[in-house]
Amino acid sequence: MNETAAAERIRFLTHEIRRHNELYFRKADPEISDFDYDLLKQELEKLERAYPELAREDSPTGQVGEDLSEGFQTYQHRLPMLSLDNTYSKDEFFAFVERVGKGLESESTEFVVEPKIDGVAVSVTYENGQIVRAVTRGNGSEGDDITANAVLIEELPKSFEESGAPEIVEVRGEIYMRNDEFDRINSERQTEGLEAFKNPRNLAAGTVKMLDRAEVAKRQLNIILYGIGFCQPDIVETQWGFHEKLREWRFPVGERFWKVNGAVQAWEAIEQLDAMRNDFPYPTDGAVVKVNGFREQAILGQTSKAPRWAIAYKFAAEQAETLLEDIVIQVGRTGVLTPVAQLKPTTLAGTTVSRATLHNAEEMERKDVRVGDTVIVEKAGEIIPAVLRVVKEKRPLESAPFVFPATCPECGSETRRLEGEVALRCINIECPAQVRGRLEHFASRQCMDIEGLGIAVVNQLVARTLVSNYADIYRLTFDNLIGLEKFAEKSANNLLEAIEKSKGNDFWRLLHGLGIPQVGAAAAKDLAKAYGSVARLRDAGVESLIEVEGIGEKTAEGIMAFFQNEANAAIVDDLFRLGMNPVAPEVPEGDDAIFDGMTFVITGTLATMKRSEAKALIESKGGKAAGSVSKKTDYLVAGESAGSKLSKAESLGIPVLSEEGLLALIDSRSGN
């Protein structure tokens, strides 16, 4: 691969990984398995090592996946809450143990082996034995404050009075949903004609981020605690000792842990865990192996995203052999045709499986998948199963290759493969499947947040030709809604109120909801701040757009093409005629814009302000509060317990301010 090809591949992988990070961490709706995601990151890491001059400072390979969400206050972790490096290889695991031995100059290291629970990482802070806060991992430095929802978990202690309780302790663990609770909720949804949730992890992640506590209370969440963050004063010296302390405090802990010496014993514990994990009441997708001693952990240290003293060994995806009875084509909101295998029901990872993804036409051709084949399906990371391979010796003699339709199965329109794409697309933007998908996206919590306008309601509205585009939502009347299934007077009025309320949403929500190619929530916020209105954004050229941080040339061209499309332009105009009045972010001007063009990063615990308050203060002065330190950073604002960001800022020669220094800088630039 030459440098030009490597640069293009790095750009593609960076975009894909960020897209999948958004789906997994923020939307709790991943498209691919953990294994496939890890392969993307491994390929990017390999290219970055081979072409270091092409590696980006903000590469996702050096960052913790971020789960920060709108609607939640953020809180700084006193100690970073990092992710774990992982492997699927026994050889790589033994290599990890060897690196640890060299780092400690020891021939045999003591480890603790724990189940890797597939849930939502959380840090729960207790002060003098009383719970004060529960925070998600977030970006590793700060997370979302989910205390209001976490305290609804019955088994999470709200206090503990045992002697020796430290003044402050961060107890870390995973919020998860039991398999039987997941099945109960899905059974109820299917009875109501709603789409089933994909897996327990996604449902748990979505539940802890719900703003409606009454709805959270209807779903039973559980928690397991296993790790220690900040603690004052120190109470234990080992990971094993902390497990014993958690039991003493009567905190919920896992069924099994192993204390072992060296690689061989650790591997034996991993194999024992693999053999028993399906009997656990929660989803477990691997084993976490940690150096036991905290002193030894400190010697080994950490990278920007993961400790060097721990690793997650991921278990092989569970597989089963079954019959592929049919192949059906689904059409998404962007018109992409996705093949789905209809399987003879089989049991896989403790659940009955009757469908599996086939990804796209190219992948089907590569695997030579046909109707009537006996196939091996796997369920990696509890995501929708995928067809791994065909058992060709069992193929029927009369089998024939699957032929992708030349026309859309939903609307009969022509399908095409666009230049540079693998997928086939339906080119009819009025295709009912695309209409449903676009409307679901527009009304979702991540976009216009129209409560009550979910999948089941959208399907009915499209089927009855009551809506065909975003603007039609704002033409709906009481008479339209009262005729829908399961709609009474109250539910109809509630939906109409939610639709009316959405007209005054933040501008970025409208931009995100319009489905402009490659414009997710983050890009929509940047565009909203830069332009403030649809009219100004429409008039922007490529050169103007690429000056917005995070907007590349391809995205800029996509934005222009979207607004130059007559059908899109007509719908947007219609929205505003129907009363759409989005709120533009306040952009300081004149004397107020003292930080115009400047980028700040905030780390640590500030003396009197929350991080969110400091961020709002900087933005009110025209500055940008970024999440990571780079050469473009003008100032780092550092409070107590500042970590890796402070070290990086110092290495780059970036000025460091305290909270007092930030206020003094504001005074000096304001002429006070």
Q: Quickly state the pLDDT bin for 382 (edges 50, 70, 90).
A: very low
Residues labelled as active-site residues:
116
Q: What is the pLDDT of residue 2?
A: 80
Residue at 406: amino acid letter: A
- What's the whole-number mean pLDDT along residues 161-168? 77
pLDDT higher at 72 or 306: 306
Q: What is the pLDDT of residue 205?
A: 85
Top CATH class, 319-417: mainly beta
Position 529 pLDDT exceeds 70: yes
258, 270 Cβ separation under 8 angstroms:
no
SS3 labels along 447-469: CCCCCCCCHHHHHHHHHCCCCCC
Q: What is the pLDDT of residue 349?
A: 64
Q: What is the C-alpha to C-alpha distance for residues 148 and 159, in angstroms, rounded to an integer? A: 15
Return the CATH number of 590-670, one of 1.10.1060.10, 3.40.50.10190, 3.40.50.720, 3.30.200.210.
3.40.50.10190
Position 121 pLDDT exceeds 50: yes
Least trusted range by pLDDT, from 113-122, 479-488, 603-612: 603-612
SS3 153: coil
Q: What is the pLDDT of residue 33?
A: 64
Question: Domain 3-62 falls in which CATH fold?
Answer: Helix Hairpins (1.10.287)
**Cα-based angle 315, 316, 317 (whole degrees, multiple of 5):** 115
Q: Quickly state the pLDDT bin for 453 (edges 50, 70, 90).
A: very high
2, 43 Cβ separation under 8 angstroms:
no
Q: Quickly state the pLDDT bin for 501 (edges 50, 70, 90).
A: very high
Q: What is the C-alpha to C-alpha distance for residues 402 and 324, in angstroms, rounded to an integer? A: 12
Q: What is the pLDDT of residue 585?
A: 78
134, 150 Cβ separation under 8 angstroms:
yes
Q: What is the C-alpha to C-alpha distance for residues 389 and 382, in angstroms, rounded to an integer? A: 18
Which strands, in side-by-side order, build the sheet including 130-136? 130-136, 120-127, 168-176, 222-232
| β-pair partners for 635 | 600
Q: Quickly state the pLDDT bin for 380 (edges 50, 70, 90).
A: low
> Which is the CATH superfamily of the domain at 432-577?
5' to 3' exonuclease, C-terminal subdomain (1.10.150.20)
Q: Quickly state the pLDDT bin for 281 (edges 50, 70, 90).
A: confident
Q: What is the C-alpha to C-alpha distance for residues 522 and 196, in angstroms, rounded to an integer? A: 28
Q: pLDDT tens across 187-221, in order? A: 776 665 556 676 788 888 888 888 778 888 888 89
- What's the whole-number mean pLDDT along residues 468-496? 93
Q: What is the C-alpha to C-alpha distance for residues 576 and 560, in angstroms, rounded to an integer? A: 19
**Cα-based angle 519, 120, 150 (whole degrees, multiple of 5):** 110
Q: What is the C-alpha to C-alpha distance for residues 42 and 119, in angstroms, rounded to an integer? A: 23
pTM of the predicted model as reported, rounded to 2 decimal places: 0.52
Q: Rounded mean pLDDT of the chain?
A: 85
**CB 277: neighbour CB atoms within 10 A?**
19
SS3 116: strand
Residue 124 backbone zone (phi > 0: left; psi -120 to 50: alpha; other: beta): beta
Q: What is the C-alpha to C-alpha distance for residues 539 and 536, in angstroms, rounded to an integer? A: 5
The CATH code of the domain at 74-314 is 3.30.470.30
Residue 541 backbone zone (phi > 0: left; psi -120 to 50: alpha; other: beta): beta
Q: pLDDT tens across 23-36, in order? A: 665 555 666 666 67
C-beta contacts of 425-431 below 8 A and 24+ residues apart: 425/334, 425/335, 425/336, 425/337, 426/331, 426/335, 426/337, 427/335, 428/335, 429/335, 429/567, 430/468, 431/331, 431/335
Q: What is the pLDDT of residue 629?
A: 79
Q: What is the C-alpha to C-alpha distance for residues 538 and 526, in angstroms, rounded to an integer? A: 15
- What's the whole-number mean pLDDT along residues 443-448? 87
Structure tokens of 504? 């005054």
- What's the whole-number mean pLDDT along residues 89-94? 92
Q: What is the pLDDT of residue 517?
A: 81
Q: pLDDT tens across 613-639, in order? A: 888 888 888 888 776 777 888 999 988
Q: What is the pLDDT of residue 320?
A: 87
Q: What is the pLDDT of residue 582?
A: 94
Residue at 407: amino acid letter: T
| β-pair partners for 374 | 323
Query: What is the DSSP secondary-structure string of 291-323?
Result: ESBHHHHHHH-B-SSSBTTEEEEEPPPEEEEEE
> Structural domain boundaries of the chain?
3-62, 74-314, 319-417, 432-577, 590-670
